[in-house]
Amino acid sequence: MRSAALIALAVVACTPRLPPLPMPVGLMVAPPESAVRWADSSRPLENRDIRFRFLLRDEEGSYGGSGRARLALPDSIRFDLRGSLGAARASAFVLGDSAQWTEPEERVRNLVPNYPLFWAMLGIARPPPRGSAVRGFADSVTVAWQFAAGGDTVEYVRERGANPRLIAEARQNGKRIGRVETKFGPDGFPVSSRLIVPKPASRLDLTFHQHTKAAPFAPDTWLRPAPQP
């Protein structure tokens, strides 16, 4: 029990408290079509093969490894994580805002609790769900959007300038479930991303080292892998 308590305290210590989202004052009601165009503009112009390193800290401790994301336009992605020495593997096929399969399901769900947050870790925004109330803001430095559907809300802040970044936060039934901050390099592609989940406390860091144009992916890319023994 003592060791478990120490791990939990360590996770709390390494998981930063979330400050208020830097949402600008003056959001105005906006047509959903404008938000869709903005979200579409955040996607790459071609299929991408993305490689990264990851480090996850949660209540069970911490572990890291390598990862790969294969993006087929417009919104299909195969996502794979592999821990050090091949342990703690996880894979998913995500289409838009839903998973076609995850393996193993519980591990993927614990890694990323929300698919708009999942996409934001790759620097990509999702359009508002149909029927959402949409508000937006834009000036020379900042673009911000708020999509509200029932008790669920997704908010984006995209900042330009010397240190461009995308911040995304999601709430379900009014409760904040996570925030992503993705930073971009001079070429416009992500260089790092951090997902913070307040409860249960966890932090997932991605550091990107390859973001290349990809040819069409082989059909078996989208097939569920065999369950791990």
Domain that holds residue 55: 27-212
Structural domain includes residue 218: no
Q: What is the CB neighbour count within 10 angstroms for residue 167? A: 18
The CATH number covering residue 74 comes to 2.50.20
Structural domain includes residue 168: yes
Structural domain includes residue 155: yes
Structural domain includes residue 13: no
Q: Tell me: the pLDDT tens digits for 68-88?
A: 999 999 999 999 999 876 667
Structural domain includes residue 119: yes
Q: Tell me: the pLDDT tens digits for 196-225?
A: 999 888 999 999 999 999 999 999 999 998
Structural domain includes residue 78: yes
**Rounded-to-integer distance, Cα 89 and Cα 67, Å:** 10
Structural domain includes residue 19: no
Cβ–Cβ under 8 Å, residues 211 and 22: no
Confidence (pTM): 0.88
The total number of structural domains in the chain stands at: 1
Structural domain includes residue 103: yes
Burial bucket for residue 226 (CB in 10 Å: 0-12, 13-18, 19+): exposed
